[in-house]
Structures are given as C-alpha cells and as structure tokens.
Structure 1
Amino acid sequence: MSDVLGESRRYFEARLADCRHAPHLHTEQIKTYEQYLSIIGQSSDAGDYAQKLGPLASMFAVARAEQMDKYGNLVRLYQKLGNPDKLKAALDRYETAKKAQNHGDLVGLMTTAQDAAAVTESKGNEKLNLAMTLLQCVVAYAAYPAEQDRSGKVAGILETYTALKNLDPLFTWQSYAETPYVYVVFFDTARMQRLGQIFEQVKA
C-alpha cells in the first residue's frame, strides 16, 4: 500500500526547497506548497488528507501559482527596464492567471491573454524597429552630400516618423533619451543632439 502522505510530503518539500533557492522568483509557489504541507501536517491518514484537500486535490493551485510567478517576475523586470508595451502584456497575463478558478479557466483565459499579449508585444517591437529606422534615416541624410538631391532621404525620414507617431503619438526626438527608445541609441549625447537638430530641420 502506497504511503500517500509520505509521498506527498516529500514531493511538496522538494518543490518548496527548489523555490527557496530564489524565493523572490517563486512567491506564489512557496505559499501554495506551504499550504499543501500544512494540510499534510494536519492529516491523520490518506483519507483524511483527501478530505482536507478538497478542490486543492486537482493541483490547480500549483498550476496557477506557477503562472502568477512567471508573469509577476516579468512585470517587475519590464518595470525596471521601462518597457510599457511588454509591461502591459505581462501584467495582463498575470491578472488573467490570478483570476482563473480552475484548470479550464486557466487554459482558456491564458490562451486569450496570450493572443492579446502577442499583439501588444508586436506593437512594442514595431515601435522600436521604426525608431531604429528613423535614426538610421537621419544619419543617412546627414551623410549625403548637400549639393545632391536628398528628396528621397527626406521622404524616408518623414514616412518613418509618421508611421512611428501613429503607433506612439507621444514620440519626439527627446524620446530617444528615455526607455524603451534609449535601447536603440548607439551615439553619444552630442551626436544625438546634432542629429536631432537635423531631424527638426527636415521635419519643419
């Protein structure tokens, strides 16, 4: 006859020990495993354990805790990095996992949340790509001989700028000094100021 209480205790103790190697990354899982271990400690036998577990027997609480920790960690990461689009995507998925009530909920809601998050992240990536392209367009314009026709270069700048403004109406050249746009900048402050002056002249 299997030792249900002993096996369960060893399983949850092992999982808890793993999580405690990096407790700040496993907050929800630690609480969940401690809850299971508490129930085991209060149980006299396998039958009593099963009765005390109730809905927890499905292990849904563990699955939800894993998702909450995963996306909670991403929320904190993107808060530090200053990436609003990825932050929103992670926060939406965290809140979705938090409100799930069962395995079906978790799978269904998370699938919907993942689709929405993918759209948000794609938009964020597109903004950064356009910001990089705009910077490259201004650099190319500045390097092109002034006595030659630069209308194509101007068109490239304006077209890219318009596309970026459509995605981020608050974007200005000064945005390159802020997250997340600062991550696409590879010039020093003086060079960026000069390029900014050129950009404003073209845009005027």
Structure 2
Amino acid sequence: MKLRTVLIASTAGVLSLGIGLFAGCGDDTTGTGGSGGGEDLSDVIYEAEATDEALEALVADTPKDEPEKAAVFDAPANDEAVPAAETFTFRWHAGGQAAIPRDLFVPARRTAHPIRFGAVEHDGFTTTARTLLEGMLSNVPSAHAHGTPVNGPGYFLVFSTADNAKLVRVFTLATEYTPDDTAWGELTGAGAPITATILSAEFEENRVLQDGGPWESAPLTFTIE
C-alpha cells in the first residue's frame, strides 16, 4: 500500500510537471518556430541550438547602418546557377572575418533527438500516466524556446522571391546551412530567381548586445537549375 501511494504521488508530480511544461510553452511556438506576439515566425527553421527567444529579440530591433559588420556570403556567388540535383550548402562569414574557401568545407547534417522516457513500469497506473504525459509533451513546441540561451553570434537567413517573401527562413548559430529535403524542395520549386539575406547580431542570454547589431547583409541573388 505504501509503495502504491509513493508511486501515485510520484506520477502525479510528473503529470504536474508535464502540464506546466505544456502550459508554459503553449504560447511560444508551434511546428518549427513561433512568435511571441510580434512578427509571425511560425515558419522559421531553427538550427544549431538557436532559440526563438533570441530570434524575437533580433527581429524586434532596428538594423544598424554598419555594413562592414554584416555577414558576407561565401557560397553561392552572386548570380550563380546552383544545380538542383544535389542539396547545396549555403555558407557565409561574419563581417570583418576572412572568407572560408569552398574546398575546405565538409557538410555535416544534424539529427534531432526526440524526448524518450525510461522503460521501467511498476503497474498499469504508472503506464497509463506515462502514456498521458507522452501525449501532452508531443504537443510541446519543437523550437528551442527553453533551451540554452544564445550567447555569441546568431544569423537569420531568409530566402525570398518576388512572389514569396518567406520562401525559407532559418535562424542558426552556425555559419552554414544545408537544407533538409522539405526546405530544398521549397527552394528548387521556386521557379524564379531567389534572393538571400542574413540579419545577424551578437547575443548575451538571448538579448542583442548594445553594440552587437543587428546588421543586415547585402542581398545575394541566385537561381537553382
């Protein structure tokens, strides 16, 4: 009897935690990203441990007129025709840094790891409670809203066409981006010249530093054939 009481109390605590997580994240992001009430960022892809909180701070700020500090594209080149047959890796460097030669770059993909629960099961009640908790957490946003705060540079990469200002948008802490199959399909299916820009900044605890930007890159135009 005492063991079951302990199990019930423990499971109730876990359920309370799950409900708290669900409620706390419910207003942040859905799908790949989200917005806290300003610009709609629900389409944004988050890479390299970037957080939606940092992105919201970035887009809420006014870009500074300091072009020498803006990110610079390394690949592709302006007006380049990118082959559609193989997924392309877009690369850039921060303003004031040297460009990285193309032949030194080796692309690497990241794999997301879903939340897993332990396999220990005490009785039917615990199993049911765990199932309920898994169901609740399956709706928790996938953006890193409550992950490690961003410290250092962050890059908001935006691909657009004349007809679609939000063709593909990515917020990352890396200086490269390799689209997944879905994003690459969006890019290759654009059927028109694509413009890419990067809005970057230096962050401290998800906040843009006073002298840390944002800085907007010069636009890059390319096609995919």
Higher RCO (CA 8 Å, separation ≥ 6 residues): 2
Structure showing the higher strand proportion among its residues: 2
Tell me the TM-score normalised to structure 1 length.
0.26
More helix by percentage: 1
